[in-house]
Structure 1
Amino acid sequence: MAAERVWLFDLDNTLHNAAASSFRLLDGAMNDYIECELRVSAAEADHLRKHYWHRYGATLLGLMRHHGVKPAHFLHHTHLLPTLEREVASHPHDVAALRHLRGRKYILTNAPLAYAERVLRQLGMLKFFDGVIGIEQMTMFGQWRPKPDARMFRALAAKLGVSPRRCVLVEDTLVHQKSAYGVGMRTVWMQRWARRGSHGPEVGVYLHRKPAYVCARIASLQQLRRVP
């Protein structure tokens, strides 16, 4: 049965400690973009970035909906990050865990594809995945439907040719897991870096509880082999 599984991995704060590396760079780049494009103060830009992330699951969606920001323009300019590779680090145990994990494996991230591939190359993990699905690929009928959109989860399972029940979402963000569980997927809550310092929607989350929509909690990728 394990060989029939399709693993859907989030990227940031799931496969690497983004809160201590790329998130800091991204927060600054997004704030600068919002301040410049919307002509608001630095404080207002920071507020909008956080507010739209909490409300929509992605800052971009709020900027598109309320300010007419063009997604390609936003994604390009906020993810240039010339020092990214110097900030991102992996651990040999994580690489080994992915190498030995049976089943098809995909990245499913609300970040753009180019950014995700840069991070995965730096982590030495890109070769272990059957595909990388960035936010640009999460569209339906011309509408952007990134995580946690349930319609996107259903469409993705159909595109991969499997029942949602054969999919396992490995995530650090609870609202994404709740949506995936609602369409029949199994969910794994990665708490490794949340224990050291949450970021975004997970700030203040009580890590010792296990919501009904969370099938398992892990603190390392090695524990995935024991997920029922």
Structure 2
Amino acid sequence: MGSPVWLFDLDNTLHDASPHIFPHINRSMVAYIRDHLGVDAEQATKIRQDYWQRYGATLLGMMRHHGTDPHHFLWHTHQFPDLKRLLVWERGLKAMLGRLPGRKIVFSNAPARYSEAVLELIGIRSCFDAVYSVERIRFQPKPAVGGFRHLLRSERLAAGRCIMVEDALPNLRTAKRLGMKTVWVSASTRQPAWVDRRLVSILDLPRCLRRWWSAKRLP
């Protein structure tokens, strides 16, 4: 039985983006939409929320409906003068990742410059063999299946070898449909059918894997 390949989401999975990072990005995206579409802040907020709910990423809605240059959008919405101060993560993260067998890949809807900076500042970039940012998946953000398939083709991976670790249920649904094992990082008490394991803390992953390993559920 071979080792699994781990696909890790970044924001709200490898670190907690909710306290500082997401509010900053939200404000930046609302300002961008306001300025470039000529709407007020209230309407810009509605547009951002609508596109995020419909497509899984505000960027995709802006590209599809307004012809927005994705590189321009990502640059202006991911400016962090003091990124390290905004980051919140669990201090045992690097040691935990080191205990997991198999290759590890970051698979994020975030842009490359931001993703690499977060991983470096947290001190875990060396834990990962590759980082698939939204640019690298050709602006086909999760939960769209195209980004998943592009990663699998590029890495020459069978979906059945992969374990997707995520905080967003729609992304895990796509992963499960492709044949991946799924781990949901969430404090929720429910567990949808397409979630194989739910963890409150990502630090519990090694224990989760041991149960799979003993049951020989991984190919």
Cα distance in structure 2, aligned partners of 1:80 and 1:29? 8
Q: Quote how far apart the aligned CAs of 1:220 are.
A: 1.8
Which 5+ residue runs of structure 2 have no aligned equivalent? 213-219
Kept in 2, the 8 Å contact 1:26–1:81? The answer is no
Q: Quote how far apart the aligned CAs of 1:85 are.
A: 1.8
Q: How do 1:1-228 and structure 2 match up within 5 A?
A: 1=1, 4-139=3-138, 144-191=139-186, 195=187, 207-225=188-206, 226-227=208-209, 228=212
Q: Secondary structure at the match of 2:15?
A: coil
Q: Alpha carbon RMSD of aligned pairs, Å?
A: 1.3
Cα distance in structure 1, aligned partners of 2:165 and 2:174? 13
Q: Quote how far apart the aligned CAs of 1:4 are.
A: 2.0
Q: Quote how far apart the aligned CAs of 1:84 are.
A: 1.9
Q: Quote how far apart the aligned CAs of 1:75 are.
A: 0.5
Cα distance in structure 1, aligned partners of 2:48 and 2:203? 34
Identity of aligned residues (%): 43
Cα distance in structure 2, aligned partners of 1:184 and 1:54? 24
Q: Secondary structure at the match of 2:68?
A: coil
Kept in 2, the 8 Å contact 1:157–1:167? The answer is no
| Cα deviation 1:23-46 (Å, max 9, x = unaligned) | 011011111111111111011111
Q: Secondary structure at the match of 1:138?
A: coil
Kept in 1, the 8 Å contact 2:132–2:151? The answer is no
Q: Give the ranges of 4+ consecutive aligned residues of structure 1 lying more than 4 Å apart after TM superposition.
A: none
Q: Secondary structure at the match of 1:213?
A: coil
Q: Which amino acid is 1:188 matched to?
A: V
Q: Quote how far apart the aligned CAs of 1:125 are.
A: 1.1
Q: Quote how far apart the aligned CAs of 1:74 are.
A: 0.2
- In the alignment of these two chains, the number of paired residues is 209
TM-score, normalisation: structure 1 = 0.88
| Cα deviation 1:100-156 (Å, max 9, x = unaligned) | 1111001100000100011111111111111111000112xxxx3211122332332
Cα distance in structure 1, aligned partners of 2:90 and 2:185? 16
Cα distance in structure 1, aligned partners of 2:146 and 2:70? 20
TM-score, normalisation: structure 2 = 0.91
Which 5+ residue runs of structure 1 have no aligned equivalent? 196-206
Q: Which amino acid is 2:144 matched to?
A: D
